Amino acid sequence: MIVSMTRRLLVFAGTVLAASAVIFGLLSVLPGDPAEVALGLGASPDELAAQRAEMGLDRPLAAQYLQWLGGLVQGDFGTSAVTGTPVGAELGSRLATTAVLIGSGMAVAVVVAVPLGVLAATHQRRPLGALLSGSSQVGIAIPGFLAGLLLITVFAVQLRWFPAGGWYRTGDGFGTLLGHLVLPALALGSVQGAVLARYVRSAVLDVMREDWMRTARAKGLSPARALRRHGLRNAAVPVLTVGGVQLGVMLIGAVVIERVFVINGLGSMLLERVATRDMIAVQGIVLVLVFAVLLINLVVDLVQTSVDPRLREAS
């Protein structure tokens, strides 16, 4: 158990390191000189050379990478050449906003998916099951940002129940946060919920075919009780994996949703900094996003192993 965990952590560290090298390499070879961005167009060649030396751009790429990596370990993401402010502080507050958004989205997805998937499985080959499966197929086909635009049209523009966009500011009450959160969380979560529901359905169907479920029924448990007592826990294992993958999908989906609802999260920061060609900041944001995806996968892996003892022996 400890050996396999150590191995997973080492693989994780290696993957993160490789990903950071790819991100650094990709954004360093691009056309566009950060020193020029910092000084503006009117700078003389001498001024540019001095600025490049100050920013460490005259050193070999590998040395620059190691310096960047060394800073990262200490939580220093570097200083933006465009805004002149440290990247790390803004990353933190933006990430917090995005985390709230994704957390609520995931909650919506689970609330949608579990009942929908279980009912679709228990009512297989009946009209209700077909209807639920059909509606989750339609749900999957709707991109999150389209769901967002439709939600804004109905609930913000027509009914005026919720704001069409924006986020709460410090000092605003919890109600303001909730009001701003409802539509984006629904847009992000309902579509992912439709995807998740299909996996819940097929996991429950698989479980219902197991011999031990027949045994549970033979002991006199009703179908619903057998499912509650024995089935759902076992069906949760494959669903957990998909749920983890979806958390990563949502993180990227949030980039678009934040634009739709004008939310100052990590995604908006990425788009803003890409637009101003602030590559030091873009490097940091992309690294945080990729790191988060990898971390989610690791956690899912570890949780899955502890939930399902069979995987422990296999690894």
Partner 1 sequence: MTGPQRTAPATAARRPNTGILVGGGLVALVVLAALVSLVWTPHDPLPVVAADRLLGPGDGYLLGTDPYGRDVLSLLMYGARISLLVGVVAVAVAVLIGVPVGVCAGMSGGRADQFLMRVNDVALAFPALLLAIVLGAVFGAGVGTAMIALGIGAAPSFARVSRSGTLQVMSQEYVTAARAAGRGRLFVAVRHVLPNISGLVIVQSSVAFAIAVLSEAALSYLGFGTVPPTPSWGRMLQESQSYLASAPHLVVWPGLAIALTVLGLNLFGDGLRDHLDPRMEAGR
Q: Give the residues lining the site for partner 1 (CB under 8 A).
A: 11, 14-15, 18-19, 22, 26-27, 30-31, 137-138, 140-143, 145-146, 149-150, 152-153, 157, 164, 198, 202, 205-206, 209, 248-249, 252, 255-256, 259-260, 270-271, 274, 277, 279, 282, 286, 289-290, 293-294, 297
Shortest Å, Cβ 198 to partner 1:
8
Rounded-to-integer distance, Cα 108 and Cα 125, Å: 27
Write down the least CB distance from residue 187 to partner 1, Å. 12
Contact between 88 and 77 under an 8 Å Cβ cutoff? The reply is yes
∠ CA 3-6-7 to the nearest 5 degrees? Answer: 85
Distance, CA of 167 to CA of 258 (rounded, Å): 10
Nearer to partner 1, 13 or 53 (CB): 13
Work out how close the CB of 17 gets to partner 1 at its nearest, in angstroms, rounded to a whole number. Answer: 9
Where does residue 7 fall: left (phi above 0), alpha (psi -120 to 50 degrees), or beta otherwise?
alpha
CB of 142 to partner 1, least distance (A): 5
Is the Cβ of residue 2 or residue 138 nearer to partner 1 in the bound state? Answer: 138
Q: Quote the least distance from Cβ 173 to partner 1, whole Å.
A: 27
Closer Cβ to partner 1, 114 or 260, answer by number: 260
**In the complex with partner 1, which residue's Cβ is closer, 146 or 177?**
146
| Distance in Å, CB of 275 to partner 1, minimum | 9
Reduce the DSSP state of residue 86 to 3 states and report it.
Answer: strand
Question: Could you give the CA distance from residue 120 to residue 129 in angstroms, rounded to a whole number?
Answer: 4
Of 115 and 143, which CB lies nearer to partner 1 in the complex structure? 143
Q: By C-beta, is 38 or 256 nearer to partner 1?
A: 256
CA-CA distances (angstroms) from residue 203 to 59, 196, 222? 54, 11, 19
Tell me how far apart the alpha carbons of residues 123 and 94 are, in angstroms, rounded to a whole number: 43
Residues 6 or more apart in contact with residue 126 via CB below 8 angstroms: none
